[in-house]
Chains A and B, each alone.
Chain A
Amino acid sequence: MAEEIKEESQNKEEQSSISDCEKQRDEYLDGWKRAKADLLNYKKDESKRFEAIIRFANEAIVKDLVTVLDSFDLALNTLGGDEEFKTQKGLYLIRRQLEDIMKLSGLERVIISVGQPFDPGLQEAVAEVESDKASGAIIEEVEKGYTLHGKLIRSARVKVAK
């Protein structure tokens, strides 16, 4: 009798150590699967990130070059917009050359027409002025806005009607 009880308790012990093992096995297998899945997902994310990096790697330099386009715009404005004058035409062409190169890298100008309502998604208001236009309408584009592969990298600066 006593032996039987002993055997039974031994059995129970074995049972519980087996179930412990099973629990551990499941936990480890789960951890392993997760680690493997994490790696695969990481690889997928990484390839997406690489794409983004390639697309936007030149964002900083394009952003800096946009200020050069601004300077050209200011120069052309100051000299008068007439393309027929020699200096202006030269300047105008250099500006276009620069912008064309930047376009190849994904730069696009944000087109704004006077009178359209101000949209803070694409524009930054720098001043409010009295005007006969409807309140909140754009009166003047002070600096052009640009996108790079669809991402706004510089909002247009505009004056808005009071």
Chain B
Amino acid sequence: MAKILGIDLGTTNSAMAIIEAGEPKILENSEGNRTTPSVVAISKSNERLVGLLAKRQSVVNPKNTISSVKRLIGRNFEDKEVQRDKSWLPFDIQKSSTGGVEIKMADRWYKPEEISAMVLAKIKADAEAKIGEKIEEAVITVPAYFDDSQRQATKNAGEIAGLKVRRIINEPTAAALAYGLNKQKNEQIVVYDFGGGTFDISVLEVGDETVEVKSTGGDTHLGGDDFDRKIIEHLISEYKKQEGIDISSDPLALQRLKEAAERAKHELSTVFESEINLPYITSGASGPKHFLLKLTRAKLEELIKAEIERSIELVEKTIKEAGFKPSDIDEVVMVGGQTRMPAIQEAVKKFFNKEPHKGINPDEVVAAGAAIQAGIFQGDVKDVLLLDVIPLTLGIETYGGVATPILEKNTTIPTQKSQVFSTAADNQTSVEIHILQGERSMASDNKTLAKFILDGVPPSPRGIPQIEVSFDIDADGILNVSAKDKASGKSQSVRIEASTQLSKDDIEKLKQEAAGHSEEDKRKKELAETKNHAEQTIYLAEKSVREAGDKIPAELKDAINQKTEKLKTSIHQSQNIEEIKSAASELSLELQKIGQIMYGQNKEGGEEQKPPQQ
């Protein structure tokens, strides 16, 4: 079936996604980028340019380069927003015969939907080239505050571009969809969308299969670009103080500073200090001048503190308008690149006293949500094909009480996996298969699903038998565990019906328990492994002494026996990993002497030639 494209038609940038194997996937445009500037131009050579190409020539062709058309689409010319934007938009606009807006590009007047259609047409063509299929339908997102006329105009833009618009959906709803929040029942969701040029807040209520917008707010002229400008202003003034030179009038210097400021802003989301180093930024009376300044995260946060505070005030206001208190809000979703900034995340978290959702790339989450809506139309998300995952790790107990995972949690089922194990003692003829469920490192801390015994293993030294344990779990979660001795061909199996029958709460509890105990578990596992290793050393020591017989001097034999006893005691009595380890390494040092004697390498004064340990 033909794919339906999900499109986030943004004020400054747009993005697109499709559903592939049930998951949204962002498509790159023909320039290889995941977002496309929402810019259209007619170049001086009369060519129509869209996206990055249009942006690249905007400086020399400002009158015929149209950006931010989303601010005009579906609006009346007399709207106060249009009148305000008119003053700073570099191109000409006029009132159309129907009272709407018309935009001049080259020598023609265009409707805003025609301009948007050019962006959509490029997106459509690039998506078709990328997936090698024709695309005829789309789901397009708009801000929650868009009125009927703005929605209709956006829909028309899609139709002009040759797309049948299956639905216009709200950007915050798309973001909530991307996080799967539409499946919640009776929840209040706040979507905090801090983009490059606009800041939107939406309060949503999820009922049965419906997402209702309760209120919207924000500031259409507040965004990450304001942050960049603040940083640049700060850097210019600092440089002036430091060098006495004003670089604000040098366009190339300013361009380099702008890029460096953006990079520093991004860097400061992960590090606490960033150095802005621009050699040969300009030249003064005494020769070339360099730009070298440090910007700390604290300084950055101080610069944009007012903006963040304002955004929180707007959140408060919007929630109040919806008739809620901050404590009524169940989920908070972060959208827009600027929400990567730790200070913003912190402020939002503090206000709601809740961790916001931010796992999906905030620049792409809206397009991903649009694709999910498209997928619902396509019918990709059919119940029959929904594959489950196992909620908790399944494994078996191995020597020392260690839980060894076979199927990790979140493995998609049906699936099958096997692993070969061996015996822990000489002449062991039976093994117990103890099937476990849970995330803890030690068997006793996990849940026992079943136990069975495989016997008839031919007697042989430890570690020789090969016992293949396989876990096979079908689509209904029914687990079959079998163990087979490869030598004798004997096998034994068990069927467990309810391996995934745990309530959501149980699973959460178990996972949290595991997380809480991870340090302690790690130590226990290490202790078990150390003891295991030590016992192997003892086994080797006893075997070597027995086999060497009279070929080694009695005093070495005594030393080995003594060290063996010491190690045995520490295995049984000590819980101290280091102590066992050191006793084990003392013993293996003695053991190496056997080898040296046997190979006749222990010449007089040959003490120094100890082979390296292990």
Contact = CB atoms under 8 A, between A and B. Distances in A.
Interface of A: 27-28, 31, 35, 38, 42, 67, 70-71, 74-75, 77-78, 117-118, 120-121, 123-128, 135-136, 142-143, 151-152, 155, 157, 160
Interface in B39-92: 43-45, 49, 53-54, 56-57, 59-61
A121 B251 contact: no
Given A31-B384, A136-B45, A118 B57 contact: yes
A124 B45 CA distance: 15
A157 B255 contact: yes
A160 B60 CA distance: 8
A135 B44 contact: yes
Tier of interface size on chain B: 20 to 34
B280 A78 contact: yes
Nearest to B47: A120
B286 interface: no
B21 A38 contact: yes
B553 to A, nearest CB: 60
A121 B44 contact: no
Contacts of A143: 252
Contacts of B147: none
B470 to A, nearest CB: 22
- What 10 A-B pairs come out closest when comparing CB atoms? A74-B280, A124-B56, A125-B60, A120-B53, A120-B57, A120-B56, A128-B60, A71-B279, A78-B288, A136-B44
Contacts of A71: 278-280
B285 interface: no
Contact of A78 (B44, B56, B61, B283): B283
A120 B49 CA distance: 9
Interface of B: 21, 31-32, 43-45, 49, 53-54, 56-57, 59-61, 251-252, 255-256, 259, 278-280, 283, 287-288, 384-385
A126 B283 contact: no
A125 B56 contact: yes
A11 B31 CA distance: 64
A75 B251 CA distance: 18
A117 to B, nearest CB: 7
A72 to B, nearest CB: 9
Nearest to A27: B384
B45 A117 contact: yes
A14 B208 CA distance: 39
A155 B21 CA distance: 36
A35 B60 contact: no
Contacts of A120: 43, 49, 53-54, 56-57
A131 B21 CA distance: 56
Nearest to B53: A120
A71 B60 CA distance: 25
Given A71-B280, A126-B59, A127-B59, A142 B45 contact: no
B280 A152 contact: no
Given A125-B59, A143-B252, 11 more contacts: A28-B384, A31-B384, A38-B21, A77-B280, A78-B283, A117-B45, A118-B44, A124-B57, A126-B252, A135-B44, A142-B252
B494 to A, nearest CB: 28
A71 B251 CA distance: 16
A75 B255 contact: no
Contacts of A27: 384
Nearest to A59: B32
B280 A75 contact: yes
B21 A42 contact: yes
Contact of A31 (B57, B256, B287, B385): B385
A123 B60 CA distance: 12
Given A75-B279, A120-B49, A125 B57 contact: yes
Contacts of B31: 152
A42 B385 CA distance: 17
A136 B57 CA distance: 11
A141 to B, nearest CB: 12
B259 to A, nearest CB: 8
A109 B288 CA distance: 26
10 contacts: A42-B21, A71-B280, A75-B279, A78-B287, A118-B60, A124-B59, A126-B251, A127-B59, A128-B59, A155-B56
A127 B60 contact: yes
A75 B279 CA distance: 8
Nearest to A70: B256
B333 to A, nearest CB: 28
A35 B385 contact: yes
A78 B54 CA distance: 32
Contacts of A118: 44, 57, 60
Contacts of B43: 120
Given A78-B288, A136-B44, A151-B32, A123 B280 contact: no
A19 B251 CA distance: 76
Contacts of B280: 71, 74-75, 77-78
A75 B53 CA distance: 30
Given A71-B279, A152-B31, A127 B251 contact: yes
Nearest to A123: B56
B472 to A, nearest CB: 18
B53 A121 contact: yes
A151 B56 CA distance: 16
Contacts of B384: 27-28, 31
B387 to A, nearest CB: 9
Nearest to A148: B32
A135 B288 CA distance: 33
A74 B32 CA distance: 29
Contacts of B32: 151
